[in-house]
A and B are shown apart, each in its own frame.
Chain A
Amino acid sequence: MATKRLMKEYNSIQKALSDTQEYENIVSLEPTGDLFSWCGVIRGPSNSPFQAGTWKIKIEVPQNYPIAPPKMKFVNKLCHPNVNFQTGEICLDILQNQWTPAWTLLTTMSAILLLLQDPEPTSPLNIDISNLLKSGDIKAYNGLIRFYTHKYAIDSV
Chain B
Amino acid sequence: MSSFVPTVSDPSDFAHCSEPRLVEFDSLLRCHICKEYQTAPVLTTCGHSYCSVCIRKYLIHTAKCPICSKEIREANLQRNVLLEQVVICFKTLRDDLLEKLTVESKVDDRQRRGSCEVIEIDDNVEVDDELEIVSETKKRRNVGQGGLESLFKRKKTPPKVGPLGTCPICAKQFPIRVLESEHIDLCLNTPLLEQDKDSIVPKESEHSYQKLTKLDFSSLSNTTLKQKLAKLELPTNGNRNQLESRYNEYLILWNANCDSIVPKDPKVLRRQLAQWESSLKFRKDDHDRQLDKKGWSDLIKQARNSKMKTREEQDDAQVESIDIMSTNEEDDSNLITSAQPQNCSIQASTQESTDHERVFAD
Partner-B contacts on A (CB < 8 A): 1, 4-5, 7-12, 15-16, 19, 31, 35, 63, 66-68, 98, 100-102, 104
Contacts and interface: CB of A to CB of B under 8 A. Distances in A.
B83 to A, nearest CB: 17
A47 B67 CA distance: 31
Contacts of B69: 98, 100
Interface residues of B, number: 24
Contacts of B91: none
A16 B12 contact: yes
Nearest to B30: A8
B166 to A, nearest CB: 43
A7 B32 contact: no
Contacts, number: 58
Interface of B: 1, 4-5, 8, 10-12, 15, 32-36, 54, 57-58, 61-62, 64-67, 69, 283
B64 A19 contact: no
Given A7-B4, A15-B15, A101 B10 contact: no
Contacts of B62: 100
Given A31-B1, A63-B283, A100-B66, A12 B10 contact: yes
Contacts of B8: 4, 7-8, 11
Contacts of A1: 34, 54, 57
B181 to A, nearest CB: 32
A19 B15 contact: yes
A31 B67 CA distance: 26
A7 B5 contact: yes
Contact of B12 (A4, A15, A68): A15
20 contacts: A1-B54, A1-B57, A4-B8, A4-B34, A7-B5, A7-B8, A8-B10, A8-B36, A9-B35, A12-B10, A31-B1, A63-B283, A68-B61, A100-B62, A100-B65, A100-B67, A100-B69, A101-B32, A101-B54, A101-B66
Given A67-B57, A100-B64, A101-B54, A19 B12 contact: yes
A30 to B, nearest CB: 11
Given A7-B5, A12-B11, 9 more contacts: A4-B34, A5-B33, A8-B8, A11-B5, A12-B10, A15-B10, A68-B61, A100-B66, A102-B32
A68 B66 CA distance: 12
A141 B297 CA distance: 55
A11 B12 CA distance: 9
A7 B54 CA distance: 17
A86 B95 CA distance: 51
A98 B123 CA distance: 39
A104 B33 CA distance: 9
A8 B32 CA distance: 12
Nearest to B57: A67
Contacts of A5: 33-35
Nearest to A14: B5
A95 to B, nearest CB: 15
Contact of A8 (B15, B35, B54, B283): B35
Nearest to B283: A63
Given A11-B5, A101-B33, A67 B10 contact: no
Contacts of B32: 101-102
A75 B11 CA distance: 32
A67 B34 contact: no
Contacts of A68: 61
A8 B35 CA distance: 7
B11 to A, nearest CB: 7
A66 B50 CA distance: 14
B15 A101 contact: no
A10 B1 CA distance: 10
Contacts of B10: 8, 11-12, 15
Nearest to B69: A100
B37 to A, nearest CB: 11
A142 B34 CA distance: 41
A16 B11 CA distance: 11
A12 to B, nearest CB: 5
Q: Which 4 residue pairs are nearest across A and B when measured between Cβ atoms?
A: A100-B66, A101-B33, A102-B32, A15-B12
Q: Counting chain B CB atoms within 10 Å of each CB, which of A16, A68, A102, A104 scores highest? A: A102
